Amino acid sequence: MRLGPLTPHTLGAEVYRWEVTVALTCAILGVNPFDQPDVEAAKRAAGVSLAGGGTDIPTEAARSALDAVGAGGYVSIQAFVDPEDALVASLARARLALRDRLRVPVTLDLGPRYLHSTGQLHKGGPAGGVFLQVVDPGDDDLKVPGRDFSFGRLLRAQADGDYTALATLGRPIARTTTEDLLATTGF
């Protein structure tokens, strides 16, 4: 199916086509496209973390989490990193190496933007995922205007919230370092 030239007359048809595509894909995956399972729980956990009452999430070796990958499962690398950082290309290569070694689908999601899309599948879809979370807010941490926290702290709180929501659901999740993940995959 090719996307033709977009004009004011064809734009509405394209929006409709993609809305139907999303609904059909969700039906096949068994995901309700209008529901956001555990999004509120993740937001509440992020709020607790942001307020300073969050849990101290330990860093773990990626290799131990990958032992939980089973037949029919998948791996999700959740990278809370600057999307413009060269690190993303390294993580993409690590994703391919894990896919080839484990012979399961491996996704690379950049946080926090995935939380309302594939995050729904992770928390509300069928079990079978193994989640590797990498958090690197970067060096250029700026204050959020009008707030008493920085963007880096907000990013870490969102990662904490998603980690907590996945762990509460019993999903295998490990927060690991970029170096450990790359070493695990041979980079």
Instruction: Tell me the one-letter amino acid at 140.
Output: D
Looking at the structure, tell me whether residues 58 and 4 fall in a common domain.
no
Which among 118, 132, 119, 136 is positioned nearest to 81, based on CA atoms? 136
Looking at the structure, tell me whether residues 41 and 28 fall in a common domain.
no
Looking at the structure, tell me whether residues 40 and 27 fall in a common domain.
no
Residues 130-169 have pLDDT tens digits of 999 999 866 768 888 998 888 888 888 999 999 999 999 9
pLDDT for residue 116 is more than 80: no
Residues 71-100 have pLDDT tens digits of 899 999 999 998 888 889 999 999 999 999
Residue 165 is part of which domain span?
36-184
Answer yes or no: are the C-beta atoms of 47 and 123 closer than 8 Å: no
Most confident of 8-22, 65-79, 118-132: 65-79
- pTM > 0.85: no
Which among 102, 109, 92 is positioned nearest to 67, based on CA atoms? 102
Cα gap 113→37, rounded to integer Å? 16
Residue 53 has what pLDDT? 62
Cα gap 3→105, rounded to integer Å? 27
C-alpha 186, offset from chain centre: 22
Strands of the sheet containing 129-135, edge to edge, are: 106-110, 74-80, 129-135, 173-176
Identify the burial level of 172 via C-beta atoms within 10 angstroms of its C-beta, where 0-12 means exposed, 13-18 middle and 19 or more buried: buried
Residues 20-41 have pLDDT tens digits of 998 899 889 887 777 776 677 7
Structural domain count, the chain: 2
Average pLDDT over residues 102-122: 84
pLDDT for residue 64 is more than 90: no
Crossing angle for the helix pair 151-168 and 39-48, nearest 10 degrees? 130
Looking at the structure, tell me whether residues 25 and 46 fall in a common domain.
no
Task: Output the domain CATH number for residue 169.
Answer: 3.40.50.10490
pLDDT for residue 55 is more than 70: no
Q: What is the CA radius of gyration of the chain?
A: 18
Alpha helix (H) ranges present in the chain?
A: 11-29, 39-48, 62-66, 87-102, 118-124, 151-168, 178-184
Looking at the structure, tell me whether residues 19 and 80 fall in a common domain.
no
Cα gap 115→3, rounded to integer Å? 27
Looking at the structure, tell me whether residues 66 and 49 fall in a common domain.
yes
Mean pLDDT computed over every residue of the chain: 86
pLDDT for residue 175 is more than 80: yes
Query: What residue has token string 């941490």?
Result: 141
